[in-house]
Amino acid sequence: MVLVAQELPLVCLMLLLLCREPGVDAQAGQDFTVQQPQAKVTVTAGETLTLICITSGVAGPGPMKWLKGWGRGSKTVYDQNNEDPSSRVTRAVNGSDTNFTIHIRNVQPEDMGTYYCVKFVIGMTGVSQVFKHGSGSEVTVQAKPSPPLVSGPEQRARPDKSVPFTCTTGGFFPDKIDVKWFKNGNPMTAQPPQVTQSRMKTYNMSSTVQVTLQKDDARSQITCEVTHPTLPAPLQGSFQLSRVLRVPPSIDVQPEPSPAEVNKTVAFTCLLKEFYPAKVSISWLENGIRIKGQNLSGPLEVSRGLFELRSRVEVQATEEKNGSTITCRVVHNGQAPANYSAILWISNTAQGGFQMDKGANVLSSLLLLLSMGVLLEKGLLGCLLLFVFKRMNRKASEMLPYPAAPQSPAPAVGSQGLATVSSDL
């Protein structure tokens, strides 16, 4: 096809425009601007972050992008050419050629950083190159601390023992945080909190307090209270001291009656007073051999949240059992067994009096026979008298109290014949 002369200038201009490099277009687009009016933005974790970007002027072909950070470590968070509706980063105004504001849903502390709105143009090699970018928006994500968790010792402790308790919380930003401790609403003195930073740019806190347990702490609690700029009201975590308290029972063993008459039934009572927790078991032993007893009731709660328990066993007071050791064995809350004992004393006054009277009757009978002249031989008379006196002496000795059975350790005998051996729980 032959072009007429007047058409040649127009064709040359079109070819010139097609052959120009993108860099030349960039030179011609100096009026193109990218505006980021937000120098600093603060948002709370879990909320939606809005980053504003407005462009003006004309630039060559190429996408608009949002980058987190700048340089080799930057990360693309939005690309105009690769929009994903399912992404948590979306355009505020879809299809706009000048408004490239974005929304970032469910912001987390790891989203903190500086964001840049950038215009790219396609170079001669077909690769996108940075043409213009905004001044950047520094994003700070405030994160609320997690609910405080209070932990205590793994083993139970007795009253008057000092035990540590720790309060922990994490995932908060900024690092400024305040911690207070209370026992039953009363302030306590604690060590300064330890604050450390995590990989996610948030902070964790740990605070420790020492508590000296008391006997009446079964119903007490300690509270950790956390205050942070992101919180409208303090957060609290609590710990019930009953979870770590162990109050051993005070124990008393008594026989009724004491001393006992021969062949009578003697009831031994084992009284456990003011103990915690309620988990306890009782067994009875007679001279180390287990015998059957019974609890009069289950553990009953008394004052201050402590418990009480009575157990009973009945023993037949035969002569051979005089001086026997009756033991109440107590196992409280899985601790080592503790033995509490009493001695079975038997009174044989009535039997002794009966034997004395019998001996006196024999002697009277012999004297009567002698007076009647029945026993005249001196040898026979001496043998009979010796037999009678030995018989009386042996019966009289039976009137004396039985010797106490060997005891280890030696029990202390009370005014009523009661002897006890105690062992601390």
Residue-wise pLDDT tens digits, 299-349: 999 988 999 999 999 999 999 999 999 999 999 999 999 999 999 999 864
Query: Quick one: DSSP state of residue 219?
Result: G
Grade residue 128 by pLDDT with cuts at 50, 70 and 90.
Answer: confident
Average pLDDT, the chain: 81
Domain termination site, one of 142, 165, 189: 142
**Which residues are 120's β-sheet partners?**
130
- Report d(CA 163, CA 213) in Å as an integer: 8
Residue 352, amino acid: G
Tokens describing residue 424: 């601390």
How high is the pLDDT of residue 298? 87
Task: Report the candidate in 25, 29, 107 with the shortest Cα–Cα distance to residue 68.
Answer: 107
Asked if the structure places residue 6 within a domain, the reply is no
How high is the pLDDT of residue 29? 60
Q: Tell me: do 70 and 181 sit in the same domain.
A: no
Question: Stretch 251-263: mean pLDDT, rounded?
Answer: 91
Grade residue 390 by pLDDT with cuts at 50, 70 and 90.
Answer: low
Domain termination site, one of 142, 172, 190: 142
Parallel, antiparallel or unpaired: strands 178-183 and 149-151: unpaired
pTM metric for this prediction: 0.66
Question: Among 61-75, 82-96, 386-400, which is the least confidently predicted range?
Answer: 386-400
Q: Can you list the positions of beta strands (E) in 173-301?
A: 178-183, 186-188, 194-197, 203-212, 221-227, 235-240, 250-256, 260-261, 265-275, 280-286, 289-291, 294-295, 300-301
Q: Tell me: do 78 and 61 sit in the same domain.
A: yes
Q: Tell me: do 197 and 170 sit in the same domain.
A: yes
Domain termination site, one of 142, 163, 182: 142
Asked if pLDDT for residue 124 goes beyond 90, the answer is: no
Q: Tell me: do 358 and 378 sit in the same domain.
A: yes
Question: Stretch 165-192: mean pLDDT, rounded?
Answer: 95
Q: Where in the sequence is the domain holding 354, given as residue range(s)?
A: 349-397
User: Any idea what the CATH number is for the domain that residue 41 is in?
Assistant: 2.60.40.10
How high is the pLDDT of residue 85? 81
Percent of the chain at pLDDT exceeding 70: 75
Residue-wise pLDDT tens digits, 1-49: 344 444 444 434 333 333 344 443 445 467 899 999 999 999 999 999 9
Q: How far is CA 95 from the centre of its chain?
A: 57
Q: Tell me: do 392 and 343 sit in the same domain.
A: no
- Report d(CA 93, CA 97) in Å as an integer: 9
- Report d(CA 59, CA 131) in Å as an integer: 9
How high is the pLDDT of residue 387? 52
- The torsion region of residue 270 among left (phi > 0), alpha (psi -120 to 50) and beta comes to beta
**Number of domains observed in the structure of the chain:** 4
Return the residue matching tokens 């008459």. Answer: 261
Return the residue matching tokens 């001393």. Answer: 259
- Report d(CA 2, CA 199) in Å as an integer: 72
Tokens describing residue 130: 């940075």
Q: Tell me: do 214 and 354 sit in the same domain.
A: no
How high is the pLDDT of residue 363? 46
Tokens describing residue 336: 């080592």
Cα–Cα distances in Å, from 307 out to 246, 248, 250, 268, 303? 12, 10, 11, 20, 8
Asked if the structure places residue 136 within a domain, the reply is yes
